Amino acid sequence: MSSYELRRESATVPRRSSAHALDTRISLLRDIAHADQRLEGVLLYGSWTLGEADAHSDLDAYLFVNDADADTFDGRAFVEQLAPLKLAYTNMYGILAVVFDDLMRGEFHVEAAGSAVAEMASWRGVVHFPDPDRAVLLDRTGRLTAAARALAEYEPPEPVATAQQLTDELANWTLMLAHVLARGETARAYALLHTVIAPQQLQLCRLLRGSTTHWLTPSRALEEDLPAGDQERYTATTCRAVDAGVRVAARKSWQWTRDLATEAAQRWRIALPLPLHENIGTQLAAER
């Protein structure tokens, strides 16, 4: 199939029918990357490299540009060769974020190859590529493949220090939640509960259950990864952004945190600030 035919197919396959559109677009990305001598390498990351991609998955990649071309390389123009774009902008993390015409999302890190490939060594323990040869679409020097293969083995979080960090974080943030509720800031309390506290609870829960594959996005595949009892405890901490609901969810959230923290302390002998825990519980109980 020619590059033109691949491009046309990737733009017309319905977004939500199958994962075929993503496979096709990745094939086209490989083709145009090999044809562009400004690129030293292209590395995929995300669900496709983990074998978990479906019709709703994004296309996520690093574009490692030769140092001499880094200042003039137009990431948007390069990505637009894959399919027409409905949206393209540099997001808050400095990443080129796009939406293709079939509503597939994409994120492209455009990096100068010289230093960026070397920095992959610092990803150890955070990122892993179970099939590095699948993740590497282009490697003109061999450096990228070597770096990806060094990240092939998954290194789960070290449990003791991680549990200590998470239990301390949860105590601190829940105290802030109690203060915010006392001030009557329902919307802010809702945001704290769902975007700050809940992800850390899920990480602590995953650590205790030995289910850390989706560590960086702990809500991902929660229904498959965690037991029904844990799912129920998590669900009980969710609510509508109304005052009474947030207050009830906050108390249930703190009880789950205390149960998780107690379990972690018993298993790994971590230290818990128990007087502070009592203070937090008392303050949340008063906010009815």
Q: Does pLDDT of 252 surpass 90?
A: yes
In sequence order, the 6+-apart residues with CB closer than 8 A to the CB of 266 are: none
Considering only the top CATH level, what class is 3-149? alpha beta
- Tell me what pLDDT residue 240 has: 95
CA atoms within a 13 Å half-sphere pointing along the CA-CB vector of 234: 21
- Indicate the residue type of 215: W
CA dihedral 10, 94, 44, 200 (to 10 degrees): -110
- Tell me what pLDDT residue 10 has: 38
- Pull the structure tokens for residue 155: 């290194």
Q: Strand, coil or helix: what is 99? A: strand
Q: Where in the chain is the domain with CATH 3.30.460.10?
A: 3-149
Q: Does pLDDT of 5 surpass 90?
A: no
* Strand 105-112, strand 136-139: pairing: unpaired
- Pull the structure tokens for residue 125: 């323990």
Q: Tell me what the mean pLDDT of segment 106-132 comes to.
A: 92
Q: Tell me what the mean pLDDT of segment 30-47 comes to.
A: 96
Q: Tell me what the mean pLDDT of segment 104-131 comes to.
A: 93
Burial (Cβ within 10 Å: 0-12, 13-18, ≥19) of residue 253: buried
Percent of the residues in the chain that have a pLDDT greater than 90, as a whole number: 82
Report the chain's mean pLDDT, rounded to a whole number: 91
Nearest residue to 246 (alpha-carbon basis) of 173, 181, 172? 181
Q: Predicted confidence band at 287 (pLDDT cuts at 50, 70, 90)?
A: low
Nearest residue to 12 (alpha-carbon basis) of 3, 4, 21? 21
Q: Write down the architecture of domain 159-286 according to CATH.
A: Up-down Bundle (1.20)
CB atoms within 10 A of CB 118: 11
Q: Does pLDDT of 17 surpass 70?
A: no
Q: Across-strand partners of 42?
A: 63, 138
Percent of the residues in the chain that have a pLDDT greater than 70, as a whole number: 93
pTM: 0.80
pLDDT in tens, 150-180: 999 888 899 999 999 999 999 999 999 999 9
- Pull the structure tokens for residue 238: 């969710």
Q: Does pLDDT of 14 surpass 60?
A: no
pLDDT in tens, 189-222: 999 999 999 999 999 999 999 999 899 899 999 9
169 sits in the region (left: phi over 0; alpha: psi -120 to 50; else beta) called: alpha
Q: Predicted confidence band at 288 (pLDDT cuts at 50, 70, 90)?
A: low
Q: Predicted confidence band at 6 (pLDDT cuts at 50, 70, 90)?
A: very low
**Is the separation of the CB atoms in 57 and 22 below 8 Å?**
yes
- Tell me what pLDDT residue 8 has: 40
Q: Where in the chain is the domain with CATH 1.20.120.330?
A: 159-286
What's phi and psi for 262, nearest 5 deg? -65, -45
Between 128 and 137, residue with greater pLDDT? 137
Q: Cα angle at 66 between 138 and 154, to 5 degrees? A: 50
Residue 221 and residue 214: Cα distance in Å, rounded? 8
Residue 185 and residue 177: Cα distance in Å, rounded? 10
* Strand 105-112, strand 59-65: pairing: parallel
